[in-house]
Structure 1
Amino acid sequence: MADKRHMCLLGLIMLCALLTGSSGAEVTHVFCSSGEDVRLSCNNACSCCTSTSWSYSRHSETVELIVGGIKKNEIERSERLSQDSDCSLNIKNVTKEDYGLYFCRQYAYEQHHRNYAHVYLHVLHVSSSSSQSEIRSGSSVTLSCQLYYHRVTCDSLVRSEGLQLIWVNQAGVDLQTDSRFQISFSSGQCISSLTTTLLNEDHSRAWRCQLKHRNQLKTSATYTVKYPTPAETKTPSPVTSSESTAAPAQPGT
């Protein structure tokens, strides 16, 4: 009797393993900066892209991107999406709005194999508090380096994952050591801000915000100072009339 119960239990375990194919979804964190191209892997164990589906979730809303290997063309960013021969999802020219959780689901009927992958995409983005026309020598500028993340807090990324946002110059030197720059960090929004007064020699100079995860460089975003050209800053001259408003003189007066 005990042997029969043992064989029955073993059969149930084997059946569950056959149906699920894996013990759970694989979770991956991917970091990139806005403007880059990124590849999200499905971690697939089978070449079954025709039965692969990619979907995206943020703010409790799930959107289908690719179903059965076919791209959903009605979504807003469909022209930037594609699927590789290994079923990976490619996103071109990533924007800060692309951050979120991506789901990959596969099912190989002939192998009774299921595969699930969860990919968290975190996007680094740099912006300036000043418009392009306001960027000039002598003006103060504040640059914001923000990490857009999903379903985790910035505090937990900093404390438990060792996340760092570091401003460096073109030579890779940490700007925290330069008194020219005031650098602050807000863990509430995961923003590192850099404030400085621009100098003449800052034209075409690049400052880079690096994202490090456990002391490993994951990605970086660069801001390059561009001063307006004389033509862009020239104030148009007021329009004047060459005609006299006085009455013409009469002959003999």
Structure 2
Amino acid sequence: MADKRHMCLLGLIILCALLTGSSGAEVPRVFCSSGEDVRLSCNNALSGCTSTTWSYSRHSETVELIAGGIKKNEIERHERLRLGSDCSLNIKNVTKEDYGLYFCRQYVYGKQQGTDAHVYLHVLHVSSSSSQSEIRSGSSVTLSCQLYYYQVTCDFLVRSEGLQLIWVNRAGVDLQKDSRFQISFSSGQCISSLTTTLLNEDHSRAWRCQLKHRNQLKTSATYTVKYPSKLFI
């Protein structure tokens, strides 16, 4: 019994370490949709940003993006990165591959100053099960709204932090109660799926997936149905 209590306590300690930075404060979460621009704050910045280094970590791999206030040009996404005047990291046209842990670190004369400032970036992305040429009136289509997250499980975000993925129409009406749509959620991959049979009037219609965190709307991603042009000649 004592061993079980010890393992539970150890598990809680590990989870707290993942959710907090070295200072013990909760690591901020930033939610955005693919295609958007995002700004990640550097809460430990020194004057001038010449001491600032930004790095990115995912799957045990750490990549340096900014060093000494200067962008690393050899990295794949360097054209989408910019250091703000307040030493924030700005990412243009975010992709689902940008999710992960970012941290800002300060160096003066080669020596680290203070602790790292961490921030999690979670990215919402909507995709269709059908190719553009297959989308037409009478066909069935499934839209997938997936949150790309890091470090914690989707189940934790749902149960402990109130994460919700909600499908709405252009007017903002929840589609969950509309019998025309079959909506399901998988916490294993953090995907909300919407399936429907398309109608003639669905051409150019937009459906939006909203992400709410702790009862606040954080971001949304939209999919607009487009039928092949030859159907409207």
TM-score bracket for the superposition, by shorter chain length: 0.7 to 0.9
Alpha-carbon shift at residue 46 of structure 1 (Å): 3.0
Which residue of 1 is the match for residue 102 of structure 2? 102
Deviations 1:66-113 (A, max 9, x none): 00001110000000001001000000000000000001012457xx95
Partner of 2:188: 188
Gaps of 5+ in 2: 1-21
Instruction: Encode CA deviations 1:207-252: one digit per residue, 9 max, x unaligned.
Output: 0000000110000000000001118x99xxxxxxxxxxxxxxxxxx
Letter in 2 for 1:183: I
- SS in structure 1 at match of 2:87: coil
Shift, 1:156, TM fit:
0.2
User: 1:26 offset after TM fit, Å?
Assistant: 6.4
The 8 Å contact of residues 38 and 90 in structure 1, kept in 2 or not, is answered as yes
C-alpha distance in 2 between matches for 1:94 and 1:42: 18
Q: RMSD of the TM alignment (CA)?
A: 1.9
- Which residue matches 1:93? 93
The amino acid across from 1:128 in the alignment is S
- In the alignment of these two chains, the number of paired residues is 210
Distance 1:209 1:182 in 2: 14
| Secondary structure of the structure 2 residue equivalent to 1:208 | strand
Q: Name the aligned partner's letter for residue 100 of structure 1.
A: G
Contact 1:25 1:115 in 2 (8 A): no
Higher-Rg structure is 1
1:159: which partner in 2?
159
Query: Quick one: structure 1 residues 177 and 23, their matched pair in 2 at CA, closer, same or farther if it must change by over 3 Å?
Result: closer
- The TM-score normalised by the length of structure 1 is 0.79
TM-score, normalised to structure 2, is 0.86
Secondary structure at the aligned position of 1:63 is classed as strand
Local SS of the residue matching 1:175:
coil
Q: Distance in 2 between matches of 1:132 and 1:81?
A: 31
Q: By how many angstroms is 1:23 displaced?
A: 4.2
Equivalents in 1 of 2:176, 2:28: separation in Å? 31
- The aligned residue for residue 127 of structure 1 is 127
> Which amino acid in 1 is paired with 2:167?
W
1:95 and 1:23 map into 2 onto residues whose CA distance is: 30
- Give the conservation status (yes or no) of the 8 Å contact 2:45–2:87: no
* 39-48 or 57-66, larger mean C-alpha shift: 39-48
Q: Hey, what's the Cα distance between the residues in 1 that align with 2:130 and 2:160?
A: 34
Counting aligned pairs with the same residue, the percent is: 88
Tell me if structure 2 keeps the 8 A contact 1:139–1:197: yes
Contact 1:26 1:118 in 2 (8 A): no
Equivalent-residue separation in structure 2 for 1:51 and 1:39 (angstroms): 19
Unaligned runs of 5+ in 1: 1-21, 235-253
The residue aligned with 2:38 is 38
Q: Secondary structure at the match of 1:160?
A: helix
Letter in 1 for 2:32: C
Q: Which digits, 9 at most, give the CA deviation of each residue in 1:118-164, with x for residues without a partner?
A: 11000000000000000100000000000000001000000000000
1:176 aligns with 2:164: no
- Which residue is 2:221 aligned to? 221
